[in-house]
């Protein structure tokens, strides 16, 4: 049998939370699945559906236990293994940590890397902590079965940053790993900045920084606040969108606290970018950094961590964004904010060059690269059947 003879592919997509407003993995899965549904018969298996799309069949996976998370992960893996009949689907595509798919899109560094340190002493402590941690043992075992190299498996990394991490820890899959970065839908910025600022009760003439993230501390919000306190400028505001604990962020300046607006989870984050003068994202670890791509698609300049900490910066260094070398250093962040503050010429240069570098990052291109991984799996399946 040849691939052309298979007909319309039947694809099972696995993710615990199917949502366009979730974190990077959820949003990536949601947008890619929309593209998949244009070509294939798609079924989504998930514990939670924040929204649904046409031409897709949804299968609710029972949420047996929510906490602890590692137990939920294990049960979800077992449940989907029994719910999805491998013979019924041509492709089983997982965006989550499960054991039984034949295509995996990997969104986060592998768990093994958290216990594999270069220093011998750190290794000893890591392995000792593993012995006494059911959580670590569970994640490591699921990951081991997930990343076993088999002929009928393909792996997809969302960035070169992540691919290096995976291959370093699982060298056996080096020849089976593809790259498919996220994308955006090219469209002109038709938002009215003044009207959006009025909608959120923000000064129309202020300089506004956008911070969009789930998990405030890991994405560097505390360091931003300290940087703004060093600047102490009444005209600089920051709008903070996403899930995070605002009470964990410490303020030492009444002015900065007053100029910081926590918006919570926003369904249309394009409004946040469009009302802002720049996106600031001093993340301490992002495999890609989709928020930067979204901001750049609307011609908003970005202040972002270097490629050591953020995957998208591979494509932005050195003259397409304001690069933060040390996201733990509030003094450096302060200097980067002041570098771009009210510098209209620099803003235009950055956005023009950044958009030019990333204009090919579309969801259609993400689909095309994902489809390469699908075809490889199907070829291997056909070879196995013929043998």
pLDDT at 194: 93
Residue whose token pair is 């303020």: 251
Cβ atoms of residues 62 and 45 within 8 Å:
no
pLDDT at 196: 93
pLDDT at 118: 47
Residues with pLDDT less than 50, the chain: 1-5, 118-119
DSSP 59-125: EEPP----SSHHHHHHHHHHHHHHHS-TTT-SEEEESSS-SS-SEEEE-S--GGGGG--SSHHHHHH
Residues 6+ apart with CB under 8 A from 132: none
Residue 175 burial by CB count (10 A; 0-12/13-18/19+): exposed, middle or buried?
exposed
What is residue 175's three-state secondary structure?
helix
Whole-angstrom distance, CA of residue 199 vs CA of residue 219: 26
What is residue 200's three-state secondary structure?
coil
pLDDT at 119: 46
pLDDT at 125: 60
Per-residue DSSP letter, 326? -
pLDDT at 131: 66
Phi, psi of 12 (to 5 degrees): -100, 125
pLDDT at 51: 80
pLDDT at 327: 97
DSSP 343-375: -HHHHHHHHHHHHHHHTT-BHHHHHHHHHHHHH
Domains within the chain, CATH numbers bracketed: 3-183+362-386 (3.40.50.2000), 193-358 (3.40.50.2000)
pLDDT at 336: 97
Nearest-Å Rg of the Cα atoms of the chain is 22
Per-residue DSSP letter, 310? B
Nearest C-alpha neighbor of 20 from the set 358, 307, 363? 363
Whole-angstrom distance, CA of residue 142 vs CA of residue 157: 18
Residues 6+ apart with CB under 8 A from 34: 53, 363
- Polymer length in residues for the chain: 387
Residues 6+ apart with CB under 8 A from 333: 220, 223, 224, 226, 227, 280, 282, 303, 324, 327
Bridge partners of residue 363, in order along the sequence: none
Residues 6+ apart with CB under 8 A from 123: 115, 116, 117
pLDDT at 32: 96
């Amino acid at each position: 049998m040849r691939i052309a003879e298979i007909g319309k592919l039947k694809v099972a997509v696995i993710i615990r939370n199917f949502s366009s407003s979730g974190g990077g993995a959820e949003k990536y899965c949601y947008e890619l699945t929309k593209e998949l549904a244009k070509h294939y018969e798609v079924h989504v298996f998930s514990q939670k559906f924040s929204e649904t799309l046409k031409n897709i069949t949804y299968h609710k996976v029972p949420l047996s236990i929510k906490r602890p998370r590692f137990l939920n992960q294990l049960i979800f893996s077992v449940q989907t293994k029994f719910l999805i009949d491998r013979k019924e689907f041509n492709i089983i595509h997982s965006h989550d940590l499960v054991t039984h798919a034949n295509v995996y899109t990997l969104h986060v560094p592998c768990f093994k890397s958290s216990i594999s340190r270069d220093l011998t002493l750190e290794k000893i402590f890591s392995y000792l902590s593993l012995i006494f941690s059911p959580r670590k043992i569970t994640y490591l075992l699921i990951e081991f079965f997930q990343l076993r190299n088999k002929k009928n498996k393909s792996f997809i990394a969302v960035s070169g940053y992540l691919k290096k991490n995976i291959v370093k820890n699982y060298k056996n899959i080096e020849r089976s790993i593809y790259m498919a970065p996220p994308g955006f839908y090219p469209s002109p910025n038709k938002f009215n900045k003044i009207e959006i600022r009025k909608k959120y009760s923000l000064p129309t003439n202020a300089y506004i920084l956008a911070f969009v993230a789930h998990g405030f501390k890991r994405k560097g919000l505390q360091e931003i606040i300290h940087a703004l306190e060093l600047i102490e400028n009444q005209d600089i505001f920051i709008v903070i969108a996403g899930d995070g604990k605002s009470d964990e962020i410490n303020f030492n300046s009444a002015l900065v606290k007053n100029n910081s607006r926590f918006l919570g989870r926003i369904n249309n984050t394009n409004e946040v970018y469009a009302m802002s003068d720049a996106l600031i994202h001093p993340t301490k670890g992002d495999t890609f950094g989709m928020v930067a791509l979204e901001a750049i698609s609307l011609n908003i300049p970005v202040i972002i961590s270097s490629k050591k900490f953020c995957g998208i910066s591979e494509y932005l260094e050195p003259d397409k964004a304001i690069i933060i070398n040390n996201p733990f250093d509030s003094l450096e962040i302060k200097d980067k904010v002041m570098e771009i503050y009210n510098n209209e010429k620099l803003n235009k240069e950055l956005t023009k060059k950044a958009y030019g570098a990333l204009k090919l990052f579309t969801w259609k291109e993400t689909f095309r690269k994902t489809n390469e991984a699908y075809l490889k799996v199907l070829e291997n399946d056909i070879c196995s059947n013929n043998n």
